[in-house]
């Protein structure tokens, strides 16, 4: 199997210049052939394949105006063309958006697909030699590729892809469900006890310092050296916010994975939630990152990650009598079931329902959900001022299991 280790590297001045040339050449080749394949597609109805672009690149290097492309490793430029071809294939397969032209003002990156190794405690790269690196663990396997990136704060990182033995063992532990929220980032339930983790809200924590630096940036003259310096100061605050969030979510996901064998969570539509009035809080919480971290860490250690369908009414379903109440809105954090008179905490009730649904999915090995009609009736949110429309024909309602 393949594994990845991201490390920080510290190139010296000549190596920084060489990397800057490599970034520039890679960016130029990507933009040049993206534009060329667009023009060819408009003229002939057929774009350029990787082989066509690679042959054309060989001839392009021989032209006097493009001899500077020979200063960098040929394999990195060929890998850039492969990345472009993959982006186009993903677009036509409707898996991604159409590739965009790369900018020199955003994060720069390139991939070395061969001839990379660990030597003398550093990272040896083609035409760069040994670059000083902070490697946290030993890599004794074959290195497949190295992706070098430069952030907007002038920091360099290398993502090392290497082969490793499949050491996955059957993990032992509890079965826990987690409910994601804003007032409580995570509410967990293991069949007996509830635990809650409060969010750290890094964006709001550093909002005052970010505002002050952005105000100073707005007063700088465009194109001036002082403006470029201020841009980096603003970028450092954004980097601090991102690093704080990543550190917290990595530690939280590691704790959950270490303590549990099976984790059950809801498959949320985060892109949809990011278009609501709660967008800032939702994105600051990092729900998608947390679920992603839990998923790959469980997979590495032989655990099981179950995601319940997003339309499962975990918050509105009474855990005692299994009756669904559609009148609950987000402002109601505690409620009493009108049928069985049971008092519920919204987050704890949702976590219990997710736990039971996850156990059902685990036992039946079916990714289903209860209480939802297949045509999607009563799913879309409707404002009070909008007339609600119903479909002409409904399938037989499916009730939640007792």
Active site members: 179, 266, 347
Residue 308 neighbours by CB under 8 Å, 6+ apart: 264, 265, 266, 267, 314, 354, 357, 358, 361, 369
248: helix, strand or coil: helix
Closest by alpha carbon to 391, among 374, 370, 366?
Answer: 374
What is the residue-wise DSSP string for 118-175?
Answer: EETTEEEETTTEEEEEE-SS---S-EEEEEEEE-TTS-EEEEEEEE----------EE
Residue 283 neighbours by CB under 8 Å, 6+ apart: 274
| Ramachandran assignment for 94, one of left (phi > 0), alpha (psi -120 to 50 degrees), beta (any other) | left
CB of 324 closer than 8 Å to CB of 311: no
Q: How far is CA 143 from the centre of its chain?
A: 24
Dihedral Cα 10, 12, 17, 19, nearest 10 deg: -30
CB of 314 closer than 8 Å to CB of 308: yes
Name the token pair of 86.
């993959």
In DSSP terms, which residues pair with 3 in a beta bridge? 162
Rounded CA separation 17/11 (Å) = 9
């Amino acid at each position: 199997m393949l594994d990845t280790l991201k490390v920080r590297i510290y190139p010296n001045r000549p190596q920084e210049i060489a990397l800057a040339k490599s970034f520039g050449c890679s960016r130029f080749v990507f933009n040049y052939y993206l534009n060329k394949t667009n023009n060819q597609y408009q003229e002939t109805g057929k774009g350029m394949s990787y082989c066509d672009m690679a042959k054309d690149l060989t001839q392009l290097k021989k032209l006097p105006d493009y001899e500077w492309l020979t200063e960098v490793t040929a394999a990195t430029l060929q890998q850039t063309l492969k990345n472009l071809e993959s982006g186009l294939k993903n677009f036509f397969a409707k898996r991604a958006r159409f590739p965009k032209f790369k900018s020199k003002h955003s994060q720069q990156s390139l991939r070395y697909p061969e001839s990379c190794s660990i030597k003398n405690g550093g990272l040896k790269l083609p035409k760069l030699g040994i670059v000083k690196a902070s490697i946290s663990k030993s890599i004794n396997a074959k290195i497949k590729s190295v992706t070098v990136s430069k952030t907007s704060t002038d920091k360099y990182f290398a993502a090392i892809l290497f082969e490793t033995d499949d050491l996955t063992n059957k993990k032992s532990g509890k079965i826990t469900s987690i409910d994601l929220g804003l007032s409580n980032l995570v509410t967990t339930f293991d069949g007996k006890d509830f635990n809650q983790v409060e969010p750290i809200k890094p964006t709001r924590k550093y909002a005052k310092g970010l505002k002050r630096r952005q105000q100073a940036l707005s007063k700088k003259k465009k194109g001036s050296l002082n403006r470029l310096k201020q841009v980096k100061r603003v970028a450092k605050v954004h980097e601090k916010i991102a690093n704080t969030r990543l550190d917290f979510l990595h530690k939280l996901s590691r704790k959950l994975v270490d303590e549990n064998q099976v984790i059950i969570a809801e498959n949320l539509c985060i892109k949809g939630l990011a278009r609501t009035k709660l967008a800032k809080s939702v994105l600051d919480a990092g729900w998608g990152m947390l679920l992603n971290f839990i998923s790959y860490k469980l997979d590495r250690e032989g655990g099981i990650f179950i995601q319940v369908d997003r339309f499962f009414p975990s918050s509105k379903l009474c855990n005692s009598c299994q009756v669904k109440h559609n009148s609950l809105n987000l402002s109601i954090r505690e409620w009493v079931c009108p049928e069985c008179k049971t008092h519920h905490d919204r987050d704890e009730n949702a976590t219990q329902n997710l736990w039971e649904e996850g156990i059902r999915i685990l036992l039946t090995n079916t990714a289903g959900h209860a209480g939802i009609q297949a045509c999607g009736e009563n799913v879309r949110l409707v404002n009070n001022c909008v007339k609600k429309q119903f479909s002409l024909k409904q399938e037989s309602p499916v009730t939640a299991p007792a």
